[in-house]
């Protein structure tokens, strides 16, 4: 059987809220090492990769590797019924066709359980190669969200270029053009405002803003987000989930005409 108890239950809610608009149905894979998900969006342009390590759960038991297909919309509906401070426990039998979510209030005065029907989902697992990225910028997650939102009002695509001067986000459209540059700032008073840039060589790539905007729905999960780029390769947008794992998005670049 599978059983996992997460004291910070709202973390699961944040994860599902972050991906449910990008991916409708997905398989959650459970093994003794943890709880993972890999799924592409419907257009197969981006890939979501979630990893929650077993040691991040208060209790984790998985006797046999299993894949649980879920509608993320339905899962979000169920998780919405959990209190913000509730402890969430997931349970599933090895051969069952449901997964149960149990919500316990911190004062232990309210317990509820919701059963979600599992579904058969044909999904392809992609191999994500280890990549030596040319540039990685780590910036406040809220700043990334703002850049994507602001540029979306100007154009449909963004050119992200990393040079020794900083990382520039440029967009253009009928309205005009916009450039936003973030520079390294590791001495900001507040840690949550720090920006760090790791540049091995300059790189510039073009991406659809629609997807980058969608990834920003993961903002509540982490104070910072990292964008890693290499020439002619998908960008990796990485939200670290403290003490547990990560939620990563990969987006294929656009090719200049």
Cβ atoms of 237 and 249 closer than 8 Å: yes
Compute the C-alpha angle 167/46/44, nearest 5°: 150
Looking up tokens 């998005």 gives 249
CB-nearer residue toward other proteins: 101 or 207: 207
For the CB of residue 111, give the shortest distance to other proteins in the complex, in Å. Answer: 40
3-state secondary structure of 74: helix
R_g (Cα) of the chain, nearest Å = 19
174 part of the interface to other proteins, by CB under 8 A: no
Mark the segment that binds other proteins (CB under 8 A) among 38-46, 84-92, 181-189, 221-229. Answer: 38-46
List the interface residues with other proteins, window 199-228 (CB under 8 A).
206, 208
- Residue 233, interface with other proteins (CB under 8 A)? yes
Residues 91-120 contacting other proteins, CB under 8 A: none
Among 42, 120, 129, 187, binds other proteins (CB under 8 A): 129
Task: Provide φ and ψ at 54, rounded to 5°.
Answer: -60, -35
Q: Encoding tokens for residue 96?
A: 């069952």
Provide the β-strand partners of residue 111: 104
Task: Calculate the alpha carbon distances from 32 to 54, 123, 243 in Å.
Answer: 7, 21, 17
Longest dimension (CA), the chain: 61
Q: Rounded to the nearest whole angstrom, what is the least distance from the CB of residue 48 to other proteins in the complex?
A: 10
Residue 141 Cβ, how far from other proteins at the closest point, in Å?
22
- Is 51:33 a contact under the CB 8 Å cutoff? no
**Considering the complex, what minimum distance in angstroms separates the CB of residue 161 from other proteins?**
17
Taking the C-alpha atoms of residue 79 and residue 245, their distance in angstroms, rounded to an integer, is 20
130 binds other proteins (CB under 8 A): no
To 5 degrees, how large is the angle CA 90–CA 72–CA 38?
Answer: 85
3 state SS of 219: helix
- For residue 177, give both structure tokens: 């053009």
Residue 251: CB minimum distance to other proteins, A = 8
- Which residues lie closer than 8 Å to 17 by C-beta, 6 or more apart? 76, 217, 220
252 binds other proteins (CB under 8 A): yes
Q: Please report how close the Cβ of residue 123 comes to other proteins at its closest, in angstroms.
A: 11
**Complex with other proteins: residue 21 or 193, whichever CB lies closer:** 21
46 binds other proteins (CB under 8 A): yes
Interface with other proteins includes 42 (CB under 8 A)? no
Stretch that binds other proteins, among 43-51, 76-84, 140-148, 161-169 (CB under 8 A): 43-51
Number of residues that bind other proteins (CB under 8 A): 25
Q: Is 122 in the site for other proteins (CB under 8 A)?
A: no
| Interface residues toward other proteins, by CB under 8 A | 40, 43-47, 124-129, 156, 206, 208, 233-234, 250-257
């Amino acid at each position: 059987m599978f059983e996992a108890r997460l004291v910070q239950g709202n973390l699961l809610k944040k994860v599902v809220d972050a991906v449910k608009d990008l991916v409708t149905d997905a398989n959650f894979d459970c093994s003794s090492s943890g709880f993972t998900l890999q799924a592409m969006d419907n257009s197969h342009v981006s890939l979501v990769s979630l990893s929650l390590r077993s040691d991040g759960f208060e209790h984790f038991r998985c006797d046999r590797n299993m894949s649980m297909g879920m509608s993320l919309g339905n899962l979000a509906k169920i998780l919405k019924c959990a209190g913000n401070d509730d402890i969430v426990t997931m349970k599933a039998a090895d051969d069952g066709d449901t997964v149960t979510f149990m919500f316990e209030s911190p004062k232990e005065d309210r317990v509820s359980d919701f059963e979600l029907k599992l579904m058969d989902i044909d999904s392809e697992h992609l191999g994500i190669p280890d990549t030596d990225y040319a540039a990685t910028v780590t910036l406040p997650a809220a700043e990334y969200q703002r850049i994507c939102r602001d540029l979306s009002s100007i154009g449909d695509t963004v050119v992200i270029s990393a040079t020794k001067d900083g990382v520039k986000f440029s967009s253009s459209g009928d309205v005009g053009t916009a450039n936003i540059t973030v520079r390294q700032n590791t001495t900001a008073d507040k840690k949550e405002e720090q920006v760090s840039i790791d540049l091995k060589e300059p790189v510039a790539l073009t991406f659809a803003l629609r997807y980058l905007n969608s990834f920003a729905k993961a903002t509540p999960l982490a104070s910072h987000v990292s964008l890693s780029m290499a020439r002619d390769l998908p960008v990796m947008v990485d939200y670290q989930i403290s003490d547990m794992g990560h939620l990563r998005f990969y987006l294929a670049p656009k090719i200049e005409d």
